[in-house]
Structure 1
Amino acid sequence: MAATKVSLKLLIDKKSHQVLFAEAGKEFVDFLITIFALPVGTVIRLLKKQGMVGCLQNFYESIENLSDTYLQPDQNKDSLLKPKVYFSGGVVPLQLPNVESSSTSRKFYRCNNTSISYGYSTNCISYVSANSRAICPSCQNFMNRELNFVDPPSSNNPGSSSEGGYVKGVVTYMVMDNLVVNPLSTISSITLLNNFNVKEVGNLEEKVVDLGMDEGVKLLKASLLSNKMAATKVSLKLLIDSKGQRVLFAEAGKEFVDFLITILALPVGTVIRLLKKQGMVGCLQDFYESIESLSDTYLQPKQNKDSLLKPKVYISGGGVVPLQLPNIESSTSRKFYRCVQGHAYVSDDRNTSCPSCTRPSITMTSELTYVDSRSGNNSGSSSEGGYVKGVVTYMVMDDLVVKPMSTISSITLLNNFNVKDVGALEEKVVDLGMEEGLKLLKASLLTKNLLVSM
């Protein structure tokens, strides 16, 4: 994480002891926009020392402790717990870890055997992967020839800029206490004084604060706290103490655990959109809506609001996961292209010009077939898809700790829960669909007692 400092100028009412609003440059607004693309798994790691609200951190740690035996052969915990999302904003001050920027950090590979003279099929050139250990479907060799990723041209904002980031640097932005952001207007600022019922301008003072790495993480936590989904059903069997009126734990299959794992890769921007009707806690939704309303004039030439507000992260879950949340595309749906000459470049937009071709009009239109990474730790294959194995029943605790089910451990838990009357225990099967999945997502971010909310 870069140690670059970002400054904010605060306007403070000394009499009421409140911050009215702040003036910020592009660096601060760029930092806020990066939060939209941040996977939930990254947020959990960042806020570990701060104390993550909700029970998702418990689930995260239980997956950390889960034996690789229970994972699908083509999955590994590092990719599940440390999801990455790529964006083309360049280096942003207060850049958060595990978010790689710009096309130069994106690594793609193709098969080395691309020449007919060596006796190999030309089909080898038609495959691309993000893993140098992936196997070429045509010749069964490793795909370890590196390709250069080429950023697609912007359709909305032609032109270029050396500033980088997302919004333009010629503008000063007004940031409200609830994180609503607008271009600064002197008249609007003065009008705001009336809204804040400021009677004496002499009581106002300005204060400049610098935000570094630690302050950036604290701001991330505060922004989350202070004020086409599949219709597939997933079942949970709850063990309820009817006498104590509490849920002790639940039994779940792989579908439920797979769904929880997809949440770790979910960009914050997607979470905001999903929970809009549910009522998103914190002020990030206000910032999200202010960027929606921001004129394209203030965006960098190569940026567009759709890509900023609807970040996508690709996960290799092997197809559809029950309760799959929108804007999470499996790796098999990824589209990549190369030029007809077969140069060592790849792009995800067929309108991108090949840097090696002599004519700029030659675009990268030859579609490539994406090859899923094959884990070096787990050899073998499975037709189940998803992340964890389906032959196992999993125990889900009220705080979202997940473990493989053990009958003896379950009985021992009854002692821990101080259950005296086994006859007072009853089971209840609940089905989770789209609506319940959204409620579960919200509850996992807010409460330590997830099962009670079902």
Structure 2
Amino acid sequence: MRLYVDKERNRVVVGEASADFVDILFSFLTLPLGTIIRLFSNQLHIGCINNLYRSLQELDTQVFWNELCHQMLLHPRNPCESLCEKLRFNVDDTEPTKYFMCESCGGGGRDLLLSTFAGLKCSCGKLMNKEMKLQEGDDPKEDKTRNGVFVEASTTYLIFDDLKVLQNSATNCAHQLVQLGYTSFDKLTLISPTLGFNQILELLKRALISKSALTDVFLGVEDEGRSKPTCSFTPNQKANTSSSFGQFYPLRITLSKSKNKILFAEAEADYFDFLFSFLTTPLGSILNLLDGKISLGSTQNLYESVKTLSSSSLGTPILLDLQVAPQYGCTKQPLKLREGETCTYWYGTHVIRGNKCYENKNGKIFDPRSGDGRRENAVGFVRRPSVFVVTDDLHVTPFTSASSISFLEKLNVPLDDLEEHVVKIEYSEALNLLGASLTSKAALTNGLLHLLKKPKGKATS
């Protein structure tokens, strides 16, 4: 990697990088939010999404359908897992997907039941603990015509301090440098920094909170004004009038009248499956959903760069249509985030293959979110019926009648200052909650308070 530095201003201006490096940068978009939080051991603070993850860690496994559902939320899978395994540096430390079957059913006449987790119970009653190998080259997401991971391997690229990536050409370089105020290279000095795993991990961190990621990492700049977190979100202040997306949640909100602030909300399991689904959603999917309404460090520039390169056949469009990994989605949710389809697997001679008939033995994937493993019965991760309470900064706890008094005591606010409202969470409100959770310490207030504003001329009911 070659970086051109303005030493007077102590900043990286532009760099030339190989496809290997750009592939790594673009892989950041494939990481689920829960993985990003786990990678930094709760030391990276983005809005209050860390509180949601920490609450998840602290919840008793009895809250979920099974212990595995709890672990799946804590360790969500990357929808581009097999592609990211080809990267020079892959920051995703999630356990790679494995396939297990029952010893007894492997050679019988019935269709094969496969599990991506060890120890689940087969339909015959025995445990699926026999590990199977997936035949190499059978990943349906892999484009066999390409010689790179996310970008064309034979091309070099320009990369700027704010992580804008362009094809390396004299025209692109000259235009961008003039835009940045440089008409020659007189003030620029070339450096070739060492790039290793620690630098890549630090780049991911700075990409999420800074507009000068390259300067922060490779020059070690700690300029307070330049490298402070740059995260903002513009919520939609217009409430939905109909449930056009087919799903909505009634949410009971408690407001502090004196502070004009939402203190907490109560809801049932569907709503909290939706909240926890933030953690299983890839960063690129979130940027696509919020469509320019959020500023999260330099990540929007990365996403826009993917659009530019994909339109010129240098990039792969898979990053523009990222889905939640199979079995990690939430069906009942207003955002309609799509869950990737599971492959059809075929079994023979002790290997399994994806999407190709191989000795006529169909393998059905067992869904751990359903008692009998059927995909159509999977309704989420949280056990029904359940009631939870979530605070303004996304601390989640199970709510029982026995805990209500102690909960109100901990709030330490006058009881006559509390005001209750019931609102509907539909598509627009769900987007507001997602954006606010990444940019604010008061997600409920910043995402939903506009719903409680009374139209002029209307009396309080």
| TM-score class, shorter | 0.7 to 0.9
The aligned counterpart of 2:304 is 289
What is the DSSP-based 3-state SS (H/G/I as helix, E as strand, rest coil) of the residue aligned with 2:431?
helix
Match of 2:176 among 192, 198, 201: 192
Q: Distance in 2 between matches of 1:56 and 1:204?
A: 39
Greater Cα offset, 58-67 or 309-318: 309-318
Structure 2 residue aligned with 1:128: 114
Matches within 5 A, 1:39-54: 39-48=32-41, 50-54=43-47
Q: CA deviation at 1:60?
A: 0.8
**Paired letter, 2:104:** N
d(CA) in 1 for partners of 2:360, 2:323 = 22
Q: Output the CA distance in 2 between the equivalents of 1:20 and 1:318.
A: 40
Residues 213-232 of structure 1 mapped to structure 2, 5 A cutoff: 213-226=197-210, 230-232=245-247
The offset of 1:259, in angstroms, is 0.7
**Equivalent in the alignment of 1:4:** none
Q: Deviations over 1:62-83 (max 9, x none)?
A: 1111111211137442221011
One-letter amino acid of the counterpart of residue 328, structure 1: E
Q: Say whether 1:35 aligns with 2:20.
A: no
Note the alpha carbon deviations across 1:247-292, whole angstroms, 9 max, x for none: 2211121111111111111111211211115345332222222223
Task: Output the CA distance in 1 between the equivalents of 2:386 and 2:85.
Answer: 44
Matches within 5 A, 1:139-178: 139-143=124-128, 144=130, 146-152=132-138, 158=144, 165-178=149-162
Is 2:117 aligned against 1:111?
no
Please report how far the alpha carbon of residue 188 of structure 1 lies from its aligned counterpart in structure 2 after TM superposition. 3.0
Instruction: With the length of structure 1 as denominator, give the TM-score of the two structures.
Output: 0.79
- Alpha-carbon RMSD across the aligned residues, in angstroms, is 3.5
Cα–Cα, structure 1 residues 402 and 27, in superposed 2: closer, same or farther, change >3 Å? same
Shift of 1:326: 1.9
The one-letter amino acid paired with 1:25 is: S
2:335 and 2:445 mapped to 1: Cα distance? 23
Please give the residue correspondences for 1:246-257 in structure 2 after superposition, counting only pairs within 5 Å. 246-257=261-272
Match of 2:342 in 1: 334
Does structure 2 conserve the Cα–Cα contact (< 8 Å) formed by 1:73 and 1:380? no
1:306 aligned to 2:278? no
Residue aligned with 1:312, SS: coil
Task: Report which stretch shifted further, 231-240 or 140-149.
Answer: 140-149
Partner of 2:424: 431
TM-score, normalization: structure 2?
0.78
Q: CA deviation at 1:321?
A: 2.8
Aligned identity (percent) is 27
Letter of the structure 2 residue corresponding to residue 253 of structure 1: E
**Distance in 2, Cα, partners of 1:248 & 1:131:** 39
- Please name the residue that 1:370 is paired with: 365
Alignment partner of 1:243 is 2:258: yes
Assess if the C-alpha contact under 8 Å between 2:4 and 2:189 holds in 1.
yes
Amino acid at match of 1:322: Q
Counterpart Cα distance in 2 of 1:406 and 1:412: 11
Residues 452 and 387 of structure 1: CA distance in aligned 2, closer, same or farther (over 3 Å): same
The one-letter amino acid of 2:425's match is L
Cα deviation per residue 1:98-131 (whole Å; 9 max; x = unaligned)?
246xxxx542133333577xxx5x1143x32212
Which of residues 234, 242, 257 is equivalent to 2:249? Answer: 234
Structure 1 residue 194 displacement after superposition: 2.6
Cα 1:145/1:173, change in 2 over 3 Å: closer
Listed one character per residue, the Cα deviations across residues 157-210 of structure 1 (whole Å, up to 9, x for unaligned) are: 54575xx64434433210022322122113432343332232553222112223
Inter-partner Cα distance in structure 2 for 1:296 and 1:245: 46
3-state SS of 2:204 partner:
helix
Distance in 1, Cα, partners of 2:141 & 2:365: 25
| Cα 1:413–1:43 shift into 2, 3 Å | same
- Paired residue for 1:398? 392
1:402 is displaced (CA, Å) by 0.5
Mapped partners of 1:448, 1:429: distance in 2: 22
Structure 2 distance, partners of 1:327, 1:189, is 38
Indicate the residue corresponding to 2:283 in structure 1. 268
| Residue segments in structure 1 that go unaligned for 5+ positions in a row | 1-7, 355-363
